Amino acid sequence: MTKLRAGLAALVLCEVLVTCGCLVSRVNKLWPPKEPAAIQLKAIEDAQQGLSTLNRTDVYASVATAEIKRFLPPAIVATTPGIQSVTVQTSLQELVAQVTFDKEFEAKDSQNKSFPIRLAGQATVNAALLVDGQNPLLCPSFNSGNATSMDQSGLQTTVSSTPVVPGQDLIICPSFGTVKLRRIVIKGVSVPKEIVAIINGLLNTFLNNINGTLHAQKISLSFDYVTTLAPQALLSSLPGVHDIGGDAIAFTVGLDRGAVLVDDAGVHALAKLSENGKSIKYADAVRRSLASDPVREAYDQYKAQFLASAQRDLGDIPPVYWSGTDALVSKSYTAGLINDTLGSMNFAAGFGFPDTEPFKFDQDIQADPAPDLNCAARAAQTSCDIQLECSQSRDCNPNWNCESCAWYDVGCDARRLGCEADKVRYRAQCEAEKEGSRLGCEADKARMRAQCEVQKAIDQAACDANQAWLNAWSGAKFGNVKGDVKLSNIDAKASLAQVSVPDDLSTLAINSTIQAVSQANANFVFTPLDAGHLFCQVPWGGPVSVKAGLPSQQLNMSAALQGTSAGPDAGINLVFNTVDYKLSLKTVPPPMVAIATQDPQFFLTCAPAVALGGPFLFIKKFREDLLKDTFDFKLPAQQLTVGIQPIHFQLMGSDLKLNPKWNTKTVGFTLLPISVEMEKRE
């Protein structure tokens, strides 16, 4: 009892020293005070600095104040011994908790002997929130040594204060606004109320010094969400699909970094996600100097920047999402994740298609109309004017000279007279030969002209005879072919190589290859008509079939994408609608040739046609257009539905469900009404 009185006297002395200010100065020097408002302001400043590095916003999420009030107090009471009750309110970048406690501690005296101390009372606890950024000292109470970390169960441990990955831890900067003890029991003896009042006064004086010694708490936000897309899950709902193959594709989504804002409506978060583990480049941090501003002004600046960051990538956040417990995921990020993951894939499947409608035919086989051979005109164009030159250009003038003689040279004169006589004889003989050659040439021209006229007459007579034969057979009917051709057992094999979507997820582009086989089945009846009886004496027909194939080829398809509700609280369906595509199959042999080759009646009833060179030449001779071997068919429009189901999870015995919704720039998730397990059991 003596020691207790001595302790009480010491408290009275402390009260006196506090009143004079001596003790306060000493304590402030040893443990610098930190006011809750200063911690709140510093948290806002650091949160704004971290937000400035968030150069892309992929997700917005919020937890409404009503949900915080519902779930957080019971969790604190259940996990923290000595806490009797808690009420929580959200404020400017902080949670404010009113706590009542009644806790017994073990203390030691001067002789190191343990004794119990029991404290009961109320406290106001302020918890400023932010997501850590690139600055390791994020709030004033976060020292560079160790920090207290609280995991999801509420247990506290001591961990390193330096985060492994910046931007993936929620930092809680705690401080006491008020502490008021209602009762103190030491070794089973209650301390008088007067002494309790003195202690409360001392606590009030040195409360900010206590705040200066508190360590920040850290909750890890790091996560990796991995899901796989198997070919069977994507393609099994398509009609006629079979033999699905290919490797499953993994989607990996993780938190890259984020920012948090707290107001009266609740706790709001923006996050930048990673795509399949890829590293992300960040914007440079922009440090805001807010130390001289009031808390409200600093908070308003931060909130404006927070909303601007959200609006940039997610659009305006509707009030219902801001005030509720919701999440918004950027379509742009989702598109990037799809394009990155499905940019190279090897899904493959076979598809069976229904038989096509029959291609009906009913056509007479007849000779083409007789052409006009224009025999007279062709004969007139043949000229018998023989272009042969008969004129003679030979020079008959003798080209030699006779000698000159003196008057007295009689012998010379005789020789000169003989020379002149030779020249006359030569000239006469040459002229006679020229005339004979001319007369022979003219005779040849007359003979050749006569032969030409005879040949013209013969050719025109033959042409006239051919024209008469063609006129006689012009349009002559040989028979009628009636029946139908249809494609059956159409089986295609498709391989998906790439899928891509735009930022708004409005369409889907698919790069694939396809090949197909089919059976072309024909039923026909051939009835000979008129001249056809010369080739086939009686009607004949029956079924025939040919193989049809589609060579392997690129098939680039596009589909409209629409998000629709799957029903009340049942999620959404992503509906992909493709258009139909025309493909062409080639048959071997053509169906009409198959008619002639696969039906044995042809050889019995159409022996003269066989003698003409076989069925192909028989058909080709009269109607080549009946040799059609290419048939078009349509790849029907397809509708593929992929469901996004509500996200189910449990919290403190309650089933919770986030229901997705398709918005303009985002996919939203809204918290649905909850059902408490205890209520279920009742």
pLDDT confidence tier of residue 98, bands split at 50, 70 and 90: very high
Distance CA 489, CA 506 (A): 35
Residue-wise pLDDT tens digits, 593-652:
776 676 666 655 665 555 555 444 445 444 455 566 776 767 778 887 878 788 777 666
Is residue 455 domain-shared with residue 511, that is, in the same domain?
A: no
C-alpha distance across the termini of the chain, in Å: 55
Give me 410's structure tokens: 């009689």
Residue-wise pLDDT tens digits, 476-530:
777 787 888 787 888 888 888 888 888 888 888 888 888 888 887 878 777 877 7
The total domain count for the chain is: 3
How many Cβ atoms are within 10 Å of 401's Cβ, its own excluded? Answer: 8
Tell me the torsion sign for CA atoms 185, 186, 192, 198.
negative
Within-domain flag for 263: no
Within-domain flag for 441: yes
Is residue 466 domain-shared with residue 541, that is, in the same domain?
A: no
**CA 599 to each of CA 457, 528, 593, 604: distance values in angstroms, whole numbers, following the listed order:** 49, 16, 10, 10
What number of CA atoms fall less than 13 Å from residue 129's CA on the CB side? 19
| Whole-number pLDDT of residue 525 | 79
| Whole-number pLDDT of residue 136 | 43
**CA 76 to each of CA 101, 150, 325: distance values in angstroms, whole numbers, following the listed order:** 12, 11, 20
What number of CA atoms fall less than 13 Å from residue 362's CA on the CB side? 2
Within-domain flag for 241: no
Among 272-276, 359-363, 369-373, 456-460, the range with the most confident prediction by mean pLDDT is: 456-460
**CA 125 to each of CA 96, 170, 201, 264: distance values in angstroms, whole numbers, following the listed order:** 6, 18, 18, 17
Is residue 70 domain-shared with residue 16, that is, in the same domain?
A: yes
Mean pLDDT of the region 217-238: 73
Within-domain flag for 338: no
| Whole-number pLDDT of residue 635 | 73
Measure CA 254 to chain center: 21
| Whole-number pLDDT of residue 47 | 84
Contacts of 671 (CB under 8 A, 6+ apart): 64, 67, 324, 325, 326, 656, 657, 658, 659
Contact yes or no for 532/477 (Cβ under 8 A): yes
Within-domain flag for 661: no
Distance CA 246, CA 229 (A): 11
Q: Which range among 345-354, 536-545, 637-646 shows the weakest confidence by mean pLDDT?
A: 536-545
Within-domain flag for 234: no
**CA 614 to each of CA 94, 546, 600, 606: distance values in angstroms, whole numbers, following the listed order:** 96, 19, 13, 10
φ, ψ for residue 565, nearest 5 deg: -70, 135
Is residue 434 domain-shared with residue 502, that is, in the same domain?
A: no
Residue-wise pLDDT tens digits, 243-267:
788 787 777 777 777 888 999 999 9
pLDDT confidence tier of residue 31, bands split at 50, 70 and 90: confident
Residue-wise pLDDT tens digits, 275-333:
665 544 444 444 444 444 578 888 888 889 889 988 888 888 888 888 888 888 888 88
152: pLDDT strictly greater than 60: no
| Whole-number pLDDT of residue 86 | 92
Is residue 141 domain-shared with residue 182, that is, in the same domain?
A: yes
φ, ψ for residue 419, nearest 5 deg: -65, -45
369: pLDDT strictly greater than 80: no
Is residue 571 domain-shared with residue 605, that is, in the same domain?
A: yes
Domain limit, last residue, from 438, 473, 508: 473
Contacts of 635 (CB under 8 A, 6+ apart): 353, 492, 555, 580, 581, 582, 583
Distance CA 646, CA 658 (A): 5
Is residue 92 domain-shared with residue 32, that is, in the same domain?
A: yes
Is residue 506 domain-shared with residue 400, that is, in the same domain?
A: no
Cis preceding linkage at 589, omega within 30: yes
Residue type, 639: Q
Distance CA 367, CA 356 (A): 32
Is residue 6 domain-shared with residue 64, that is, in the same domain?
A: yes
Mean pLDDT of the region 576-585: 79
pTM for the model: 0.62
Mean pLDDT of the region 443-470: 82
Domain limit, last residue, from 473, 506, 541: 473
How many Cβ atoms are within 10 Å of 114's Cβ, its own excluded? Answer: 8
Mean pLDDT of all residues belonging to the chain: 75
What range defines the domain where residue 634 resides?
Answer: 355-366+486-643
| Whole-number pLDDT of residue 677 | 36
Residue type, 338: I
591: pLDDT strictly greater than 70: no
Distance CA 394, CA 431 (A): 9
12: pLDDT strictly greater than 60: no
pLDDT confidence tier of residue 99, bands split at 50, 70 and 90: very high
Is residue 527 domain-shared with residue 392, that is, in the same domain?
A: no
Is residue 375 classed as helix, strand or coil in its secondary structure? helix
Distance CA 31, CA 23 (A): 12
Residue-wise pLDDT tens digits, 106-141:
887 778 888 888 989 999 998 888 777 544 444 544
DSSP H or E run through 679: helix 677-681
Is residue 495 domain-shared with residue 424, that is, in the same domain?
A: no
Distance CA 315, CA 308 (A): 9
| Whole-number pLDDT of residue 545 | 80
Mean pLDDT of the region 579-606: 69
**CA 13 to each of CA 275, 562, 620: distance values in angstroms, whole numbers, following the listed order:** 64, 77, 127
Contact yes or no for 304/51 (Cβ under 8 A): no
Is residue 455 domain-shared with residue 597, that is, in the same domain?
A: no
Residue type, 56: R
Mean pLDDT of the region 651-663: 77
Mean pLDDT of the region 419-426: 80
**Could you tell me which residue, 71 or 137, shows the higher pLDDT?**
71
| Whole-number pLDDT of residue 135 | 47
Contact yes or no for 629/588 (Cβ under 8 A): yes
What number of CA atoms fall less than 13 Å from residue 345's CA on the CB side? 32
| Whole-number pLDDT of residue 203 | 83
Within-domain flag for 259: no
Within-domain flag for 562: yes
Distance CA 76, CA 156 (A): 12
| Whole-number pLDDT of residue 544 | 79
Contacts of 184 (CB under 8 A, 6+ apart): 117, 118, 119, 120, 190, 191, 195, 196, 199
| Whole-number pLDDT of residue 140 | 46
